[in-house]
Amino acid sequence: MVSKGPLLRLLTAINRRRMKLLVGLAFVAYVASVWGNFVNMRSLQENGDQKVESRIEEAVAPLREKIKDLEKSFTQKYPPVKFLSEKDRKRILITGGAGFVGSHLTDKLMMDGHEVTVVDNFFTGRKRNVEHWIGHENFELINHDVVEPLYIEVDQIYHLASPASPPNYMYNPIKTLKTNTIGTLNMLGLAKRVGARLLLASTSEVYGDPEVHPQNEDYWGHVNPIGPRACYDEGKRVAETMCYAYMKQEGVEVRVARIFNTFGPRMHMNDGRVVSNFILQALQGEPLTVYGSGTQTRAFQYVSDLVNGLVALMNSNVSSPVNLGNPEEHTILEFAQLIKKLVGSGSEIQFLSEAQDDPQKRKPDIKKAKLLLGWEPVVPLEEGLNKAIHYFRKELEYQANNQYIPKPKPARMKKGRTRHN
């Protein structure tokens, strides 16, 4: 037997230490590799998580924007509305309230704090004109034709439903007659049933082609009962007759506003009357067409003046007819030149042959409104025209961008040519 010498023992001890060291190193390496893998996996996972998160964020961001928009639309901002106590707040019906004048009247009465119900069949009116009130607790919009009876509870009725511009009322003369006759009877019947006061939006057209100038309320008019405009002129005349029959026979409180030419934003693009015609022609660089010599006169009021007059009349004790118009008279040629200047248009003025039945003069006598209502127009012509020009410019832009602008169908052509209205 060979005995283990001190050298061998030394070598064995060294090997053992090496072994231990090696094992230790191997263990450390193992732990390090496990840790490394763990760290790698974690960072991979974190990277993955980040990617997923950023994808989710990408998908969610537009939804978040949509929710914000929805929130905004739910908390829609209405124009400021006064608070009226129960005793001062009235329930008001406006027939034709989605039209040009009716929508401005809606704005005024809503902002004054009343409860407003608009009834309209949207023949010439547009929801767009009153959309800023939709959803408001004081506002109601009903799609209804006044030729059919209506059963609601109201305190006041502004009866405006009727096409107003010649292309619109001549489009279907029988319907115009029905609206102004049967429609007015229905509204007077409603006023009688619920004890409401009714204001009729009558017109200066009840004076026809006037033989007196300016026209005051005592003038009985000069209307051709079988002419192309008779459906409107005579329709309004008989509507006035109906109001006074209901007043005398049934004690219904009536107010009759004889409205003269009015202009402003929300007029129809194809209104066909001189202000809108000239503005549109000037904006589109087309010639401004003047029928005849252009010496015929017209007077135009801005829509806010009319609305103030209608409200003043409704709340007055004046039951006989009252003219509401602006007596500032201008020749058609002056209007053409002024509009051309305000638009900054290079359009020429084109003279066409004189139109049939074109009234030579049209100007309201508003002494009665001044005296009994304390009302008179206050908006200067140029200021009103600038607002109307701004509105028509925007409408043309919408049209150019192919945005939907509803238009009444064009008038069927009748004998006789276009004339200044």
Ligand X SMILES: NC(=O)c1ccc[n+]([C@@H]2O[C@H](COP(=O)([O-])OP(=O)(O)OC[C@H]3O[C@@H](n4cnc5c(N)ncnc54)[C@H](O)[C@@H]3O)[C@@H](O)[C@H]2O)c1
Q: To the nearest whole angstrom, how small is the minimum distance from the Cβ of residue 229 to ligand X?
A: 12
Q: Which residue among 94, 102, 302, 388 contacts ligand X (CB under 6 A)?
A: 102
Q: Which residue among 139, 163, 214, 308 contacts ligand X (CB under 6 A)?
A: 163
Among the listed ranges 93-101, 223-231, 394-402, 409-417, the one in contact with ligand X (CB under 6 A) is 93-101
> Residue 250: in which H helix or E strand, if any?
helix 230-250
User: Which sign, positive or negative, has the C-alpha torsion 200, 206, 212, 214?
Assistant: positive
Tokens at 339, concatenated: 């509009």
Q: Should residue 145 be labelled a site residue for ligand X when binding is judged by CB under 6 A?
A: yes
Q: Hey, is 95 helix, strand or coil?
A: strand
Tokens at 300, concatenated: 């135009």
To the nearest 10 degrees (0 to 180), the angle between helices 303-314 and 100-111 is 60
Nearer to ligand X, 120 or 365 (CB): 120
Contact between 119 and 95 (Cβ < 8 Å): yes
Q: How many angstroms separate the first and last alpha carbons of the chain?
A: 141
Nearer to ligand X, 121 or 215 (CB): 121
In 3D space, the residue among 251, 116, 114, 143 whose CA is nearest the CA of residue 193 turns out to be: 251
Radius of gyration of the chain (CA): 38
Q: Should residue 181 be labelled a site residue for ligand X when binding is judged by CB under 6 A?
A: no
Nearer to ligand X, 102 or 208 (CB): 102
Q: To the nearest whole angstrom, how small is the minimum distance from the Cβ of residue 166 to ligand X?
A: 11
Q: To the nearest whole angstrom, how small is the minimum distance from the Cβ of residue 267 to ligand X?
A: 7
Q: Should residue 206 be labelled a site residue for ligand X when binding is judged by CB under 6 A?
A: no
Among the listed ranges 6-14, 20-28, 157-165, 333-341, the one in contact with ligand X (CB under 6 A) is 157-165
Nearer to ligand X, 196 or 345 (CB): 196
Q: To the nearest whole angstrom, how small is the minimum distance from the Cβ of residue 147 to ligand X?
A: 5
Q: What angle do CA 52, 53, 54 make, to 5 degrees?
A: 95
In 3D space, the residue among 159, 313, 158 whose CA is nearest the CA of residue 236 turns out to be: 159
Q: To the nearest whole angstrom, how small is the minimum distance from the Cβ of residue 388 to ligand X?
A: 12
Nearer to ligand X, 167 or 196 (CB): 167
Q: Which residue among 99, 167, 214, 384 contacts ligand X (CB under 6 A)?
A: 99
Q: Hey, is 114 helix, strand or coil?
A: coil
- DSSP label of 177: H
Nearer to ligand X, 147 or 245 (CB): 147
Please tell me the distance from the alpha carbon of residue 175 to that of residue 169, in angstroms, as a whole number: 8
Residues contacting residue 301 through CB under 8 Å, at least 6 positions apart: 260, 261, 262, 263, 324, 325, 326, 377, 379
Q: Which residue among 92, 100, 298, 343 contacts ligand X (CB under 6 A)?
A: 100
In 3D space, the residue among 263, 299, 64 whose CA is nearest the CA of residue 164 turns out to be: 263
Among the listed ranges 39-47, 114-122, 389-397, 410-418, the one in contact with ligand X (CB under 6 A) is 114-122
Strands (E), 225-328: 254-259, 262-263, 288-291, 297-299, 301-302, 322-324
State the pairing for strand pair 288-291/349-352. parallel
Q: To the nearest whole angstrom, how small is the minimum distance from the Cβ of residue 270 to ligand X?
A: 11
**391 in catalytic set:** no
Q: To the nearest whole angstrom, how small is the minimum distance from the Cβ of residue 165 to ligand X?
A: 7
Q: Among the residues of 83-195, which ranges form H helices? A: 100-111, 166-171, 173-194
Query: x/- binding map, residues 244-283, to ligand X, per CB under 6 A?
Result: ---------------x-xx---------------------
Q: Which residue among 106, 117, 121, 215 contacts ligand X (CB under 6 A)?
A: 121
Nearer to ligand X, 115 or 233 (CB): 233
Q: Which residue among 161, 333, 381, 385 contacts ligand X (CB under 6 A)?
A: 161
Among the listed ranges 156-164, 209-217, 223-231, 314-322, the one in contact with ligand X (CB under 6 A) is 156-164
Cα–Cα separations (whole angstroms), residue 308 to 213, 301, 378: 25, 12, 10
Task: Indicate which residue of 232, 246, 291, 302 is catalytic.
Answer: 232
Cα–Cα separations (whole angstroms), residue 290 to 152, 275, 300: 47, 12, 17
Q: Which residue among 96, 210, 214, 364 contacts ligand X (CB under 6 A)?
A: 96
Q: Which residue among 109, 125, 215, 389 contacts ligand X (CB under 6 A)?
A: 125
Q: What angle do CA 247, 377, 200 make, to 5 degrees?
A: 20
Nearer to ligand X, 207 or 291 (CB): 207
- In the complex, the residues that contact ligand X under the rule CB under 6 A are 95-96, 98-102, 120-125, 145-147, 160-164, 168, 179, 183, 201, 203, 259, 261-262
Q: Active-site residues: which are they?
A: 232
